[in-house]
Each structure stands twice: as C-alpha cells, then as structure tokens.
C-alpha cells in the first residue's frame, strides 16, 4: 500500500531535505522514525527537496509498505520518534499511482523578510532581516514581468542540475504586514535557489537600488551574473504542493491530524 504524509519542519538543524552520508537531513530523520513504526526500512519520496536551513509547512511525502498500521501510528507514533524540529501533520492511504513529486501540479513558497532598523531575536530562525525600509509596492510591481512560462536561467544557481530552465510561474506577489514582507510564489517547478535569487533581486528593488523594471530585464538577459544576491535560507519556507483533486490530498490548513 502507498501512504502519504504531510510533514512540517524547521530547516535550521538540518543540511536540507535529502539524505546524505556526511550530515543530518530531514529525510534521514523521518525515515528513521517511520522505520521504527513499521519495524522495517522505509524510504520516502518528497514533493520538493529543500536546501540547508529552508523550512517546510506541509511537505508532502509518500512511501510504500506492506505493514498494516493505524494511520495514527504514522502520525502520532512517528512524532514520538522525531525531534522537535519535525512533525507529521496527517497520514492517508493513497492511490498506488500517486507520487508526491511527479503528480504535483505546482508548488508554493513564501520568503519572509523582517524589515526594521533592529534585528529580530524571536523570529531570527524563520525570517531574513533587512534594516533599511523596503518599498513593497515597487517590489510587487516588479513581479508581474515574471508571470507565465519563461526561461529562468538568470535565477538559477551555478550548480543547478535541472535539464532546462523553463518554468511557469502562476502567482507572484509581495505584501507588507507591519514589519514583515511576504514574497509568495507559485510555480509548476523551481530551479535550484530560484526563489532565494528572486528574493535577493526584489530586495535590491525594495531598497531602490534598482527600478522595478530590472527584474524583467534580468529575465530577458538570462545571465545569472547580472542578478542580485541569493537571499539567506532562513527566510524561505516551502508552503505546500498542489495535486489533482482525484488524489484527495488536503490543504495544509485542514485535516492536520486525521
């Protein structure tokens, strides 16, 4: 049978999602917890791998097993074996054709900037800090040039292993809420460091170091060397993927512990 889970994690203690031999990853910790429940090795597939220090609100994963356990065992039972930085929201038996990565229609990320003169202590692990005032309206205006399908070569890291740079951005916005700025982006897929590079460019626009039109110019030039900094990892959170309705994968706001 195939089981799907929604997993939330604080990325700071981990070297990213993917299991690696030289460091502690979210995948390794989750698989260890699930294997303890199943009493056999469990290997999970995720919707989207996150880098070192990047968080997730509802990372969707799936795994196959012939071991029969109550769904509560895959949530509450697994949580007893997980550190405080990782939590399973819900578990559900899904269609054998479901795949957490390949069946996802799109993925939503949020980059959060704490914007005031003094740094934050309470939210330091989950926000990036910019001490000079940012023009959120200019930042938001810049995003419109990137909506749709484009070649995003200007916004991929040098070590990105994707076969091509064409992606489709469905939603892209910047909103201010008091001292916080939220950069929200939904796309059918992302290149390595794409959201963080875009966020770094938007920060330059927000500081009025570049005009709002600059983001569109970078897109057309396709040259990563012309783009801005890669924004710090701690401000980035993978919110959730979206799937076709027939798989009945709930939104992260509902059915967190069914």
- Residues with catalytic roles: 51
β-pairing, 45-46 with 128-130? unpaired
CA distances from 216 to 143, 197, 210, 229, 248 (A): 8, 14, 12, 16, 37
CB 73 within 8 A of CB 212: no
Number of Cβ atoms within 10 Å of the Cβ of 248: 13
């Amino acid at each position: 049978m195939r089981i799907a889970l929604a997993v939330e994690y604080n990325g700071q203690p981990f070297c990213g999602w993917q299991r690696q031999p030289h460091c502690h990853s979210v995948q390794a910790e989750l698989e260890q917890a699930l294997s303890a429940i199943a009493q056999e090795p469990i290997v999970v597939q995720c919707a989207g791998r996150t880098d070192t220090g990047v968080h997730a609100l509802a990372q969707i994963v799936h795994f196959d097993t012939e071991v029969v356990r109550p769904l509560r065992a895959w949530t509450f039972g697994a949580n007893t074996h997980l550190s405080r930085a990782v939590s399973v929201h819900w578990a559900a038996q899904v269609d054998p054709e479901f795949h957490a990565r390949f069946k996802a229609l799109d993925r939503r990320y949020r980059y959060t900037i704490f914007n005031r003169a003094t740094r934050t202590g309470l939210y330091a692990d989950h926000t990036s800090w910019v001490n000079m005032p940012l023009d959120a309206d200019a930042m938001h205006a810049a995003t419109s040039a990137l909506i749709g399908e484009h070649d995003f070569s200007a916004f991929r890291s040098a070590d990105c292993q994707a076969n091509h740079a064409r992606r489709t951005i469905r939603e892209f916005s910047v909103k201010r809420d008091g001292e916080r700025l939220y950069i929200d982006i939904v796309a059918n897929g992302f290149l390595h460091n794409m959201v963080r590079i875009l966020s770094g460019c938007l920060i330059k626009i927000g500081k009025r170091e570049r005009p709002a039109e600059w983001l569109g110019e970078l897109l057309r030039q396709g040259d990563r060397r012309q783009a801005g900094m890669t924004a710090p990892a701690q401000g980035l959170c993978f919110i959730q993927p979206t799937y076709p309705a027939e798989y009945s994968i709930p939104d992260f706001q509902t059915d967190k512990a069914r």
